Structure 1
Amino acid sequence: HEIDTTLSDLAADLRAPTPSAAAELSIWDKEDFFQHIVDCLSQMEYSTSQIFKRYRSDLLQYMSRPVYQRPEGAVRDREQTLDNLLRHFENAGKNILEKKKNILSLSLSRLESLSPLAILKRGYAVIKKMPGGETVKSIGDLSGGDVIESVLKDGSVMALVKEIKQA
């Protein structure tokens, strides 16, 4: 005949042959219990000591940085850096403005060279058929006896077409 195994026997951490033995196994021995408490306290003391050592080391490392040794020097250094950046930005702004000014001047010169007045200043004229003032673009627009106005750089001249010659 086989001994019965209960579900609680399968779930238990320890197996005891009798209830008295189970009571003995479930309660710590007094010396073992106190030793466990001493070991836990010792481990807590060591861990706490290590944490404080690390914090102290970190604090000493931070305090050794120049900003904590001479804070006025750090402020002066930052002020100098800001002054340098400000000068750099001012110079960059001036350079950008100067370049834009040169581009604008060049564009203005090009625009003026294409102006009808600039063309007149180079010795050319604009011829208009009168009395309407239509611009003459070809000799085909004129015939003998037409009145024309020649606009020059400093004024205009009225003339009568006597003869037309083909080129």
Structure 2
Amino acid sequence: MAESAAEAPRTSPDEPWPVRVVSQKISAWIARLGWVWVDGQIAQVSRRPGAGLVFLTLRDPSAEMSLSVTCYRDTFESCDPPLREGSRVVVHAKPEFYAGRGSLSLRADELRHVGLGELLARLERLKKVLAAEGLFAPERKRRPPFLPRTVGLVTGRASAAERDVQKNAAARWPAVRFAVRNVPVQGPTAVPQILDALAELDADPEVDVIVLARGGGSVEDLLPFSDEALCRAVFGCRTPVLSAIGHETDTPLVDFVADVRCSTPTDAGKRVVPDLAEERRVIEQHRYQLDRAVTHLLDGERRWLSAVRSRPVLARPELLLSGRRDEVDGLRDRARRVLAHRVDAAGSDLHHTVARLRSLSPLTTMQRGYAVVQRAADDAVLRDPADAAPGAALRVRLAGGELAATVRPGP
């Protein structure tokens, strides 16, 4: 960078660098990288008859990126088993810039097959990383809709997996709609195109669920569905994703990330939509149960209403009124008798009380000739002659009235 900054002022519209100088400097910068090990998938092999060089196109398994690789024929043919298009390899190479063509290429001196054991070990390490990040967590998995408006289907063109999903889904729900995206399901271009199809379906508001489907194959054939970029893309989808890759024993990493794992594409066709015949049977069963429940309820209410109507209070309400009238008449007569008895008893008691009162009354005594003498001054009753002084004025009360008297001294 320091050299570049120092040399930058040398160029100007009046003093530009020639193409050869720029090419030399680019070549020098690229040469600094040195020998490197590169992991990729062979997308194309070109061998000219009689030529000592083999030209390869090495593609990134997870992106639309590739590099040209050149190696000697002996180096290419030394691999066992022989390399072919689609093989996963590790290349020991040095990047070189060819000034004459203005192109970049890797010059390889060693090519190695990525063995099945190494692939499985890589997948196991990636599986642990994704699990630690929570991509396999059961609590984040979403339930697919009961009846999706449109089912997104990502699968190979005219494949058995596509037919199985559509055939079984249509057998269960004839009105099911599919938005199919046909992509390569193996090889170096599979992952980028699957990612594009997945993003397109996830952005479609009419698509309620997405199915990733592929038939069976070897571990190498199913490698695109264990790709880290694809797993993270499935995890980031807002639409529920069903994974239906290979057979029941096949478990690519996308199975652990998807919201629902289907054992086969046929199983996906059965699980993505409900069974119309089964739903009709369930509806008929529930309707029958509802009819029975309503009939039972109405019968119970009818029996209760009949029992209520048969009660005397409703069947012959006049009997209840007649009985109550008789009770009221009886209570009225009883009250009249009790009241008369009490009045008679009270009159008799009053008569006896009046008689006793009269027998004890001073008036009765005076009627027999007795009188009550009182001093006129203070109305005090005299009981002893000494209580009246000579000349004192007296009042004599008789049965027939009063007399005034004066006390005279005795002889």
TM-score, L = length of structure 1: 0.65
Partner secondary structure for residue 5 of structure 1: coil
Structure 1, residues 62-108: CA drift from partner, whole Å, max 9, x if none? 22222444344333222212222322333344345445545655665
Q: Quick one: distance in 1 between partners of 2:367 and 2:136?
A: 123
Contact 1:129-1:148 at 8 Å conserved across structures: yes
Deviation at 1:23, TM superposition (A): 8.0
Q: Which runs of 5+ in 1 are unaligned?
A: none
Contact 1:126-1:135 at 8 Å conserved across structures: no
Deviation at 1:126, TM superposition (A): 1.5
Partner secondary structure for residue 34 of structure 1: helix
- In the TM superposition, what are the counterparts of 1:93-104 in structure 2 within 5 Å? 93-98=339-344, 100-101=346-347
Contact 1:127-1:149 at 8 Å conserved across structures: yes
Q: Tell me whether 1:42 sits opposite 2:174 in the alignment.
A: no
Q: Tell me whether 1:5 sits opposite 2:136 in the alignment.
A: yes
What is the aligned partner in structure 1 of residue 312 from structure 2?
66
Partner secondary structure for residue 373 of structure 2: strand
What is the aligned partner in structure 2 of residue 126 from structure 1?
372
Partner secondary structure for residue 260 of structure 2: coil
Change (3 A) 1:138 1:82: closer
Deviation at 1:33, TM superposition (A): 0.7
Contact 2:391-2:408 at 8 Å conserved across structures: yes
- In the TM superposition, what are the counterparts of 1:1-167 in structure 2 within 5 Å? 1-2=128-129, 3=131, 4-5=135-136, 8-9=140-141, 12=143, 16-17=260-261, 24-25=270-271, 27-98=273-344, 100-101=346-347, 115-118=361-364, 120-121=366-367, 124-129=370-375, 132=377, 134-139=379-384, 140-144=386-390, 146=392, 148-156=394-402, 158=405, 160-163=407-410
Q: Quick one: distance in 1 between partners of 2:318 and 2:275?
A: 65
Q: Percent identity?
A: 21
Count residues in correspondence: 159
Letter of the structure 2 residue corresponding to residue 66 of structure 1: P
Q: Quick one: distance in 2 between partners of 1:26 and 1:74?
A: 70
Letter of the structure 1 residue corresponding to residue 284 of structure 2: V
Letter of the structure 1 residue corresponding to residue 379 of structure 2: E
Deviation at 1:160, TM superposition (A): 4.2
Change (3 A) 1:26 1:57: farther
Q: Looking at CA atoms only, which structure, 1 or 2, has the larger radius of gyration?
A: 2
Contact 2:375-2:381 at 8 Å conserved across structures: yes
Contact 1:129-1:136 at 8 Å conserved across structures: yes
Deviation at 1:34, TM superposition (A): 0.9
Change (3 A) 1:101 1:54: farther
Q: Quick one: distance in 2 between partners of 1:25 and 1:161?
A: 144
Deviation at 1:47, TM superposition (A): 1.0
Partner secondary structure for residue 120 of structure 1: helix
TM-score, L = length of structure 2: 0.31
Of stretches 144-153 and 99-108 in structure 1, the one that deviates more from structure 2 is: 99-108
Q: Quick one: distance in 2 between partners of 1:28 and 1:112?
A: 113
CA RMSD after TM alignment: 3.8
Q: Quick one: distance in 2 between partners of 1:72 and 1:124?
A: 74
Structure 1, residues 129-165: CA drift from partner, whole Å, max 9, x if none? 35x47333453431345454432323456474555xx
Q: Quick one: distance in 1 between partners of 2:368 and 2:272?
A: 119
Change (3 A) 1:45 1:122: farther
Q: Quick one: distance in 2 between partners of 1:75 and 1:97?
A: 32
Change (3 A) 1:40 1:103: farther
